[in-house]
Amino acid sequence: MAFGNAMGTKRILRLSSEYTHVPVRGSPGMLRASTADLPLPALPLPFEMLLRRLPLSRNEAIGEAMAIGSLALDAFQALAAAGVLEDVVVGDLGPDLAVAHRPNLHVGCRIADRRVRLGEHVFVRPLLPDWVVMRPSTPTWISLRSEVAGSCLCSLAAGSDAARLSEVGVLFLDNGFLTADEAPPQFSWEFHDAVFHGASVHGYGTDGGYGATSARSASLLKRHSDRPPLTNGRMIDLAEAGIYPYDLEVMARRRTRREFSARLVSWHSLSSLLGLALRTQSVTYVSPTEYYALHPYPSGGARDEIMTLVARAHDAQDEAFLAVYLNRVHKLFRYYQSQELALEAIEALSAVCHVGETRPSVALLFAADYERMAIKYEAIAYATMLRNVGAIYQTVSLVAEALNLATCAVGGGWGHLERQTLSGHLADRVIVGGMLVGIPAGQPGHEKHLV
């Protein structure tokens, strides 16, 4: 990573462009932004003078804060965490090469004799004129100038001696984006889960992260008919669901089951399950692009962001298939030549849950449109979406119990399915939940269905 050193760089600590320090006699003053004023705590006069002198060399600023006392250093840390301070690498001619937003200002020992590389789940995205780099394990995110992004990221991904890092490389190291080259993986999360969770927890989902930004136009909202391309298949009508007598006994006996009968879930039962648990009940439009869709399960925002893929095994009369459940019209769009996809989906989810040798005959996969949620919920979009999935789990489980079906909710393990097996059927959605459905083993009872 010689590019940074060749250009001549220096590292500075400065106030974010959104904030201006307003001095107040006898106190550290306040930080003024377009939205509000942020009063500073009562600290010694030297700290006020230090704020007035920013930008300064990062080492100089932190050194002076440490000399003033622990309260001054704590105040610096709090300002950094709030996004008031930025840790910046600038070139000789003045442009920002890299900016760490919400930087880590802790002073600690550095890995000086080891090779380092980009850590797991580092997320990189061009957001011209800069590139954005995020890592779910830290609230810091780095904007990297496009002219240096390629050489910088390629060098860090390949690994480099810590002692030979440029200023930009050291910025990545100090802010938790690098790990020892020989260190084992630290995350067991699937990539998009880690990124979305980090955006939700750290609150940077709308600041150049994965999803939509608050500044995006409402016209980006997906139309209600927006679905993955329904090609190479045929439409299947499903039986209309009536009203099923329901009592508390259903809730009392509901269980997660991992032992299934070899019998296939009938068309009638599958139709009843989808209709009672997932079918859209009503849609209310407040504008051509803004609407609320209500379902049998509670849904934060009623954004209609969850799509259901249905995988069904084969029997003597019918081959296995993969289909999309069209929840507004209560139909299945069954993909042609999808037998292997369906069986792989059932097998993958069954393996995660350690299901016995007899596999269930149906797997449901819930895929979410993250952007549709992010436009409204911004940084808490992913957390809200997961709550919606939990409500779907419970609703499907209760309806299945009433129909004498067995279910097992699946919490993960579909990474391979999403990346390879089903990627062409997900469009811009990601899988956020799964459920196995079958006939319970060892029970002589019959399925119930609605006509």
How far apart (Å, rounded) are the C-alpha atoms in residues 322 and 317? 16
| 391-409 pLDDT, tens digit each | 999 999 999 999 999 999 9
pLDDT of residue 354 exceeding 60: yes
Predicted local distance difference test score (pLDDT) of residue 20: 84
| DSSP SS3 for 164 | helix
Strands 282-285 and 291-294: antiparallel
pLDDT (mean) for 315-343: 90
Domain of 377, CATH number, reads 3.40.109.10
Predicted local distance difference test score (pLDDT) of residue 217: 31
pLDDT band of 427, cuts 50, 70, 90: confident
Are both 172 and 238 inside the same structural domain? no
Predicted local distance difference test score (pLDDT) of residue 360: 94
Tokens standing for residue 357: 């040798």
Are both 183 and 222 inside the same structural domain? no
Are both 257 and 385 inside the same structural domain? yes
- 233 phi and psi, to 5 degrees? -170, -165
Predicted local distance difference test score (pLDDT) of residue 2: 41
Establish if 199 belongs to a structural domain: no
pLDDT of residue 86 exceeding 50: yes
pLDDT of residue 432 exceeding 80: yes
Establish if 395 belongs to a structural domain: yes
| 264-308 pLDDT, tens digit each | 999 999 999 999 999 999 999 888 777 889 999 988 888 888 999
Terminal Cα-to-Cα distance of the chain (whole angstroms): 68
Q: Is the model more confident about 403 or about 380?
A: 403
Q: What percent of the chain has pLDDT over 90?
A: 32
Establish if 446 belongs to a structural domain: no
Are both 163 and 278 inside the same structural domain? no
- Residue 18's DSSP bridge partners are none
Predicted local distance difference test score (pLDDT) of residue 172: 94
pLDDT of residue 105 exceeding 90: no
- The whole domain housing 13 covers 2-187
Q: Is the model more confident about 325 or about 229?
A: 325
Establish if 290 belongs to a structural domain: yes
Which range, 6-15, 95-104, 190-199, is most confident?
95-104
| SS3 labels along 78-136 | HHHHCCCEEEEEEECCCCEEEEEECCCCCCCCCCCCCEEEECCCCEEEEECCEEEEECC
Number of domains comprising the chain: 2
| 21-56 pLDDT, tens digit each | 887 776 667 788 776 677 777 777 788 888 888 999
How far apart (Å, rounded) are the C-alpha atoms in residues 307 and 325? 7
Are both 294 and 402 inside the same structural domain? yes
Tokens standing for residue 244: 């099923």
How far apart (Å, rounded) are the C-alpha atoms in residues 267 and 335? 16
pLDDT of residue 193 exceeding 80: no
Are both 183 and 259 inside the same structural domain? no
Predicted local distance difference test score (pLDDT) of residue 58: 92
How far apart (Å, rounded) are the C-alpha atoms in residues 232 and 183? 46
Establish if 201 belongs to a structural domain: no
Query: Which residues, including other chains, have CB under 8 Å from residue 167's CB and lie 6 or more apart?
Result: 4, 5, 9, 10, 11, 89, 97
Q: Are 315 and 343 in contact (CB under 8 A)?
A: no
Q: Are 192 and 430 in contact (CB under 8 A)?
A: yes
| DSSP SS3 for 208 | coil
As separate numbers, helices (DSSP H) first and strands (DSSP E) second, the chain gives 13, 22
- Residue 134's DSSP bridge partners are 123, 141
| 109-139 pLDDT, tens digit each | 566 567 888 888 888 888 778 898 988 888 8
Predicted local distance difference test score (pLDDT) of residue 50: 87
Predicted local distance difference test score (pLDDT) of residue 222: 41
- Going from the C-alpha of 408 to that of each of 60, 266, 326, the distances in angstroms are 58, 18, 22
| 198-227 pLDDT, tens digit each | 766 676 543 333 443 333 333 333 444 456
Average pLDDT of the chain to the nearest whole number: 81
Residue whose C-alpha is closest to residue 102's, from 69, 64, 132, 65: 132
Which range, 21-30, 71-80, 379-388, 434-443, is most confident?
434-443
Establish if 239 belongs to a structural domain: yes
**The residue to which tokens 């995205």 are assigned:** 125
Count of beta carbons in the 10 Å neighbourhood of residue 252: 8
Query: Which residues, including other chains, have CB under 8 Å from residue 52's CB and lie 6 or more apart?
Result: 21, 23
Establish if 183 belongs to a structural domain: yes
CA atoms within 13 A on the CB side of 345: 33
Are both 247 and 176 inside the same structural domain? no
Are both 174 and 65 inside the same structural domain? yes
Are both 157 and 247 inside the same structural domain? no
